[in-house]
Structure 1
Amino acid sequence: AARLLWGRTPSTVSLDRPYAGVLPHSFAVLQSPEYSELFRVTQVAEASRAEFGISGKSMMLTLAGEHLSLFAHAVRDTTVLVQSQALPRARSPIAAPVSGGLIAVTGAVHGLVKDRRVIVQGLSVASGERIAHQAVLVDAVVGSDRTTLHITPPLPVALKRGSVVVFGNVALATHGDTGAQILGAGDASQAFQRFELKRLPLTYRSAPNESGIDSELSIRVGDVEWTERPTLFGAGPNDRVYSVHTDEQGKDWVLFGDGVRGARLPSGVNNVRASYRQGLGQGGNVKADQLTQLMTRPMGLKGVSNPAAAEGGTDAEPARQARRSMPLGTRTLGRAVSLRDYEDFALAFTGIAKAQARVLHLSSGPTVAITVAGQSGDAVTAGGPIWQNLWGALKANGDPHVQIALLSYKASSFRLGLKVKRDPAYASLPLLVAVQAALRAHFAFDERALGQPVLQSEVVAVAHRVPGVVAIDLDFLYGGSSPFLQVLKSKQTRLLAGAMRVQNGVAKPAELLTLHPAAFERLEEMP
C-alpha cells in the first residue's frame, strides 16, 4: 500500500516514494473511506516532487479508469494498492458423485501395483452413511495432474465426491493368537492315533474352497510337515496326512491314519508338534477405526487403522443349522452345475446363512445372480473375504463360462400393532410379554427366507398359538425398505419382500423382512 500524491495531469497520480514491482499493464486500486476502484496502470515513471514543504523522489503512475477524479479531493485519505500479481483462475469444482469402477484422484500417484487391495471410503449420496468399500486395483493410469484408478468390484453406491478418500498400503489382518503345543509321541503300532488341541477354539480363516474355510494349524512329525485333509477317506497308505474333527463338547482332535487310509505316525518321543492360532467367531468383527495399536512396530511404520469394519468372523454352527447345512455338500458334491447347485453351494459355504439363486438377463447376457446373507443378518460386502472366497470357489467349481453376480441381501423390517383378548385364568402382563416374544422369534432373521412376504393371517396365527390368547385384533401392519413406508401407519393385507430383479440394467438383491427392533406400535389387552 502506498500513499497518494495527486499527479500533474488528470490521469496521473504520484506515490509517496518509488515501489519495486509496479509495472505497466499491472493494476492499482485506489481506496478512500467513501469509495474504491480498480485502475489499469498504463505508464510508470520516477520523478522528483516538492510538496508540503519537503522534496523527494516519487513514482508517477498513469492510470486508465472512469472515476479517477473522485479521489482528487481526498488525497490525504486515499491509499493506493499496487504490485498486483496475476493469479491463474481456479478450476471449476467437480461436483458429480463418484460411482462405478473408475476413480480419479488428485496428483500423479506412482508406485500403484496391479492386483493390490485398496479401500475407498466416503459418504453415500443417498443415505449419508459412511461407506468403506474394499476393492482390488485393476489398473492405474498416471497423468500429469491426476491418476485414474480402475477397481473391481465397482463401488456399490454413489459417494459424495468431497468425502472420498482412497487408502493404499492395505494389508489383510486376521483374528487369532499364535501358539505351539507338543501333542505327544507317535506310536507306529497304533492305528488312527489322535491328539487333543488344548488351546481352544482353533482359528479358521475364509478360503476359496468347497467348505469356505481352512484351519490355521500346522503339524510336524519330527521335522516333516504333514498335510491336512477334510477326511482320511481316499488317502493312500504312505500319505502323510491328518484330519481335524470337533466333538460335541467343542474339543478339537487331530486324527492320523491307520496305514491304509493315511500313513501311521512313526514312533518317537514327543515327536508330534503343532503350531496353530487360537480365536474364532463374531467377536473378531471389530468396528471401523477400532484397530489402532500394533503388537510390534517395524521401522518406518507410523501407525495403523482399519477404515473398514472387520468381517468374516463366524461362530461355530449350532446343531439346528448344522442339520440344515450338512446335506448340502452331498447334493453338490463340490460342484456347481445347475441353478440349485449354485444356491446349495453358497448355502454350504462357511459364513453364509442364507442364499437364493436366480437367472437374470443383464446387458452382458444371462447371469446366475446369487443373493447371500451373512451370519446373524450381517451383510456380505463386495470385496470382503467371504465375498471374494465364495466368488473364487464358485468360479473354480462351477462352469467357467457362466456369468455370476454375487449380491448382498437387502435388510428390511416391518411394524405392527395389535390387541389381545386373554383367558381370565392368565395374568395380563406375562401374556403380553409371551405374545411379543413369540412374534419376535417367528419373524427373526434365522426363521425368514429371502423374498418371503409377511401376511396378516401369519401374524394372527403366531399370536393365537400363545397359551392364554382367546382372540386377536390386528390394528397395524406396515413397513418395508422405503423410509416412507416405515412411518406410514396402515393395515396391509400382506407386506411383500422384493425379489431379485433387474433395475436400470443392474442386478438388485432380494430382500428379507424381519420384525423391527421397535416393532410394536400397539400391544395391549382388549377392554
Structure 2
Amino acid sequence: MSTSAIDDRRELVRRSTTDPALAPVNGIDFIQIDPADEARLVVQFIFDIDTDVDPDLPTAVGAPLSKQLVSIAGGERIRSIAVKSVQRGPASNQLQVIASEVGDFSTYTLQLGSPADPPPAGFDPVLCAASFTFHVECAKRFDCKDSALCVPPAQSAPNIDYLARDYPAFVRVMLDRLALLAPRWSERNPADLGVALVETLAYVADQLGYRHDVIDTEAYLNTARLRTSIRRHVRLVDYRLDDGCNARVWLALDLDADLPQGVPPGTRCATLFDGAGAPTLRADAQTYDMALAAGAQFFEVMADRFTADQPPRPNPRPLSADNNAMSLYAWSAREYCLPVGATAATLDGTYTLQRGAILILAEACGPDTGATADADPARRCVVRLVRDSAKSTDPLTLRPVTRIVWHDGDALPFPLCVSSVTDSTHGSRPLTGVSVAYGNVVLADHGRTLGSPLEAPQELLAAVPPYGRYRPLLSQPGVTLAAANPYLADQPGDTAKPIQPAARAASWSVADTVPTIALTSSDQDGNPLNWRAVGDLLEGGIDAETTAFETEVENDGTTYLRFGDGVNGHLVEPSMQFTASYRVGNGAAGNVAADSIGLIDRGFEGGGVIRSLTNPLPAFGGRDAETIAHARQNAPIAFRQQERAVTAQDYVDRALQFAGVARAAASLRYTGSWTTVFVTVERNAGVALDASFRTRLEAYLERYRMAGHDLEVEDAVRVPLRVAMHVCVANGYVAADLAKLLLAIFTSGLQPDGTPGLFNPQRFLMGEPFYLSPLIAAAQRVEGVASVKVTRFEREQSPDRTGLRTGVLVPRATELFELANDPDFPERGQFELTIDGGI
C-alpha cells in the first residue's frame, strides 16, 4: 500500500475512539531503533497497551497479545531474524522488541500476527505491520518516507518509421497508425475530413523535415550549399568570400566642340548591339529592352563611392575638341619610334594639356602599309601626365610642337612607331603620324544604375518586423561591387603632391570593393539617415552608432542586406522605412573587347558635341564571384598563411606579389641600433625605381614588417659589362654589311624582326647569371660569318678573365647587369666589334 494510503488510515484509527461512526481499533504508529543497541526495537502504538507481562500482552481496546504473534520478516543477506522477547514500555503505548540479531541494510517488516491470518483482535489490518531498517545512523541521500505511487501499466510505443522524411511517406505512416487505432475507419477519399487532416499534417511535417535537413546541411562547411552559409563559415577563420567586382575601361571621345564641364559622373555608356543608332544611347524603354535582350554591357563614367551622403564629385577636367587625336612629332626623321620605357614625347601641334590628364597612345595606321585597318591594336597604352604640357617650336622647321611627360609607372612597354616608310608593295612612301595620342579620355566602370526608363530610381524595401532580424532582399540580382575612383584624391594643380600613374586604375584588392548601394531611412523623429555599404561589419571603425550595412549574395545573384546588432553597426528600429538605389552588372562579363563600346547617353548638358566614342583598350579587372568549391578548398588553410615577414625570403615573396616588380632580393643587416631590412627590387622592363613606386612599395610591405625592424627599398645595383668580339668574314661577303647586321643583333633595343636585342634590359634579370655561349651562337647564325672569338667578357669596373674562362658572369643577389652600348653613356656598358676578312 502507498504511503499516502497508510497515512489516511492512521488518521481514521486516531479518530476511532471519538467518532461514533467508527469502531475503536489500535495499530502501529511507527518503529524506533535504539542507537545504543540496534537489536532493540521500540514499537510505538497509536493507543495504550494494558500490561507489560510476557507472554500475555492485552491491549487497551482489544484482546491480549502474545509473544508468538510478533515476527520480523525481510532482509537480503541476513534473514530469519527471531524475536527474543517482547515487553511493554517505557510508555504505555510502546512495546520493546528484542531481535535475535541485527539485520543488514535492507528493509525489514515487523508483523503482528501472521500475514496469512486475520490480524489480532482489536488491531487494524493495515496498521498491524510496519517497515524499518536496523541501521539508523547511516547517512541517507533521500527522505525515508516512501513515496511510491500506483505505477501505471506500461504502454507499448508505436512502431514509427523514422526514415519517413517526405510528404508521401508521412501520409503513409499516419494512415497506417490510424488503421491500428481505429480499424473501422477505412475512408481514403481526399475529400474526407480525416484524410484532409492527415494530408495537412503531412504537409507541415514535410516542411519541418525539409527545414531540419537544411539546418543540418548548412551547419558544416563541407555540406553547406547556400553561399551565405559558406560566407559565414569562412568568416570564422578571417577569410573573406570574394563576391567578385566590376570591370573598368578607358573611353576615348571624339568631340565636335569643346566640353568645358567634362562628362558628368554616372553618364551611361553601352556596347554596340543590333538596332542601336550609334553613338546615341536613347533613354527609352524600347532601346533598353533591345540592349538587354542582345546582351549589351552597360558602363558608367566613374565617380566616388556610391553613397547617399556623399554625392558624386563632378569631373573637374574639361575636354577639348582639339585633343581628339594628336599626332606624335617625328622631328623630320623618316623612321622614328619611341623606345621601350619612354616617358616623354612630342606632339605635332599646339595643345593644352593639364597635369593629371589621361592620354592613350596608339598606332593610327600600319607602319608598312599606311592603312588604318593595319594598325596593331596591341600597340596601345594609357599614360598620365605629371606636368602641364610645354608648348614650343621646332627651330629648324618652325613647326609648333608640344612636349608632354608622363608618369614613370606608365613607361611604354613596347616601341611605338611615330614615322616610317611603307614597304615596296605600297610604294615605299614616307609616313608621318603613324601613332597618335587620344586626349579626351575618361574612366568608366561596368554597371547600370537602376532608374528610368526601365526601373524606378528607388526601391522600397520590406518593412522592419517588430521583432526578429531585418534582412531584406533587393528585387534585382547582380548588384555591382566596385572600388573607388583611384584619382579622386589627386590634386592636379598641387605640384608638391605626387600624382598617381594611369596604371593605378588597374590595381585594387578585394578589400577595396563595396556594393554600389545608396540606402536611406528615417529615425523615430522623422530625421533622414544615410547608410553606407561596407565589406564587413566586423571591420575596424564600425561601432554602435555607425549606420552601415553589408550584403550577402547568393549563388543566383540575389542580394540580401544585413544590418548591425547595436554593437557592430547601428541597430535597425521597427519604425524605420528603407529605400535603396543601386547598380547592377558585375563580374567578368564586363571585360569587353577593345573597340566594342560605341554608345553613350548624350542627354546631359553639352553632350550633343560628342561625335563618337570607343574603348581603344579592352576593359579590365572584372572578376566573377568566388565559387563555393574554391572557398571550401582554400578557407580552412588560409589562416595558416604567413602574414608577417620574418625572414629575408618572406620579404622577397611579398615584394614579388606587388604589381610592377619583376625580381626582388632582401637582406637583414644590423645598422647600429636595430636591424634594417634592405629590399632590392627590379621593375618590369628594367625601368628605374622612382620615388612614387618606392613609396607605394614601402607602404605595401609595411603591413608585413615585423616590429623592431626598419625597412628600406632600393633599386637594383646596375653593373655595366664590357664585351669585345672579333668576327672573321667569309670570302664573298661585305664586311661592312655584316657588321651592320651584327650590331642590329647585339643591341639594347629591338632586332629587325621586333624581338629584343641580346643586350636588351629584358634579357638581364637581377641576380641571374649572364652566359657567353648565346652571344657566340647568335653571331655564328649570321650568314657570312666564318669564325667568332670573344676577347673580353667582364665587368666594366672589375675586369678579369674569369668570365672568359668559365663562360658565365655571376652577379650578386642585388646586382643587375646592363650593356646599353651607348656612346653617350659609356658607363652603362660597352660592346666592341672588330671585323676582318671578306670584301
TM-score band (shorter)?
A: 0.3 to 0.5
With the length of structure 2 as denominator, give the TM-score of the two structures: 0.31
Which structure is larger by alpha-carbon Rg, 1 or 2?
Answer: 2
With the length of structure 1 as denominator, give the TM-score of the two structures: 0.47
Q: Give the number of the structure whose residues are more often helix, by fraction.
A: 2
